[in-house]
Structure 1
Amino acid sequence: MAGESIKDMSSKFSKLEKFEGHDFRRWKKKMHFLLTTLKVVYVQTTPMPAMPEASEEETLEQQRRRLKWENDDYICRGHILNGMCDALFDVYQNAESARDLWDSLDTKYMAEDASSKKFLVSNFNSYKISNNRPIMDQFNELQHILGQFEQHNMHMDESIVVSSIIDKLPQLWKDFKHTLKHKRRK
């Protein structure tokens, strides 16, 4: 029964979106879930069991643990690589272990994530609501930007968000803006 669910999960894996160099956080969470389900995610944080020194012989149990770790590392690395577009696969295919692969992806794309945070803040700050488009469409765009803030674990005080959105209203809404800003909560 458990073997069937892992087999189903592996076959459905191909339906997951390939990582193409953007939305790393989302892809990373999905990949971590898959690797956890396959029970191989531990190889990213657990070093390979050490071989005994030359004077000692490897026991059967030590050999089993080492071979299991090597097999799980191979499966983990293969699934991570399979979750990438062909261009990224070609770049990362020579990683020696799943941990090395994961660390190099994390280093590269989390650094880019920091610059995307700056981009998000800039988008939010420079967003202006215009009279030329439906207000709800524009409000939904702002909500989408704020949703991306949450995705990146960027939290802004609610009163700052509300005040910022009010400030983004067009000049023709001057009286309404004034009413909203000075209205007290009951």
Structure 2
Amino acid sequence: MSDSKSKLSHIEQFNGTNFQLWKYNCWLILEQNDLLDIVEGKSKEPEPHAVSGSITNSKEIKKWKKQDTDARVILMTTISPKEQQAFVNCKTVNSIWVKLAAQYLQNASASTHVLQARFFHYQFLKGHSMMSHITAIEGLAQQLEDLGSPMSQSQIMTKIVSTLPTAFRSFMTVWDNLPETEKTMPQLITKLMNEQHRNVCTSPSCS
């Protein structure tokens, strides 16, 4: 593995409450090092093949064990010491992940209705940029999807548009009149960013 512990320091450690952000950053490192299949249990330790008393695939076994160790280092380094205690008896990275995922989903499942309420009642926050607004709503939707209660793209886009500040009122009308085939998330983001730029440049402070 090319990543040392110092290269993992930018990842906020999993503390029992920040699962989504932790998983996203951690998974980038795992994917970068071709370790996701081992973590998710898709790649199993090779069974020894013996011929005349000699193991013929010892190199493959050694390589797999090295990758498993590398993946365990990534996970355990990015989990807070308090949370690490639950995984000290795990012998493989997949066993760590299975236990962690089960623990998170068990704890979070009870709060599905809370997340749904937060999603439906969420409003544009004063001081937020447009991208911050979009990211906040997408983040709530992602958490709900992880709990088995996904929001459709249409619901997410409707939530974003319906909670825009008054300066974007004309945009809402334009968006509502677009053909359904043109109402996609990339289109919405592009148009909103352009509209934000226009709003800034029509303000007195814009030169």
The TM tier, using the shorter chain, reads 0.5 to 0.7
Superposed displacement of residue 16, structure 1: 1.3
Count how many residue pairs are aligned between Structure 1 and Structure 2: 160
Is it true that 1:100 corresponds to 2:95 in the alignment?
yes
CA distance in 1, matches of 2:31, 2:66: 15
Q: Does 1:137 align with 2:126?
A: yes
Shift of 1:139: 8.9
Match for 2:142: what amino acid? Q
Q: Which runs of 5+ in 1 are unaligned?
A: 130-134, 167-179
2:142 to 123, 147, 151: 151
Secondary structure at the residue paired with 2:11? coil
**Percent identity for Structure 1 against Structure 2:** 18
| Larger mean Cα displacement after TM superposition, 139-148 or 22-31 | 139-148
The letter for the 2-side match of 1:46 is S
Higher relative contact order (CA 8 A, sep 6+): 1
Q: Which has a greater percent of helix?
A: 1
Conservation of the 8 A alpha-carbon contact between 2:120 and 2:159: no
Partner Cα distance (2:157, 2:23) in 1: 32
Under a length normalisation based on structure 2, what TM-score does the superposition of the two structures give?
0.60
Cα distance in 2 for partners of 1:159, 1:43 equals: 35
Deviates more, 1:75-84 or 1:40-49: 40-49
Secondary structure class of the residue paired with 1:46: coil
Conservation of the 8 A alpha-carbon contact between 2:46 and 2:60: yes
**Is 1:41–2:39 an aligned residue pair?**
no
Residue 123 of structure 1, CA deviation: 2.7
State whether residues 38 and 93 of structure 2, in contact with CA within 8 Å, keep that contact through their aligned partners in structure 1: yes
Q: Write the distance in 2 (CA, Å) between the matches of 1:98 and 1:65.
A: 17
User: What's the TM-score once normalised by structure 1's chain length?
Assistant: 0.65
**Structure 2 Cα separation of the partners of residues 43 and 122 of structure 1:** 36
Give the C-alpha shift of residue 32 in structure 1.
1.5
Stretches of structure 2 lacking an aligned partner (at least 5 in a row): 146-150, 165-171, 179-207
List structure 1 runs of 4+ shifted beyond 6 angstroms. 138-144
1:19, distance to aligned residue in structure 2 (A): 0.5
Per-residue CA distance 1:43-84 (angstroms, 9 max, x = gap) = 22211010236965212xx00110111111111112101111
Seen in structure 2, the aligned counterparts of structure 1 residues 88 and 142 have a Cα distance that, compared at 3 Å, is same
| 1:69 to 1:120, Cα distance in 2 relative to 1, 3 A | same
Contact 2:141 2:156 in 1 (8 A): no
Q: How does 1:158-177 map to 2 (within 5 A)?
A: 161=159
8 Å Cα contact 2:30-2:71 kept in structure 1: yes
Aligned position for 2:68: 73
Report the Cα distance in structure 2 between the residues aligned to 1:35 and 1:139, rounded to whole angstroms.
32
- Taking the aligned partners of 1:86 and 1:120, their CA distance within structure 2 comes to 27
CA RMSD after TM alignment = 3.7
After TM superposition, the structure 1 = structure 2 runs for residues 15-34 of structure 1, keeping only pairs within 5 Å, are 15-34=10-29
Deviations 1:156-182 (A, max 9, x none): 53686489769xxxxxxxxxxxxx9xx
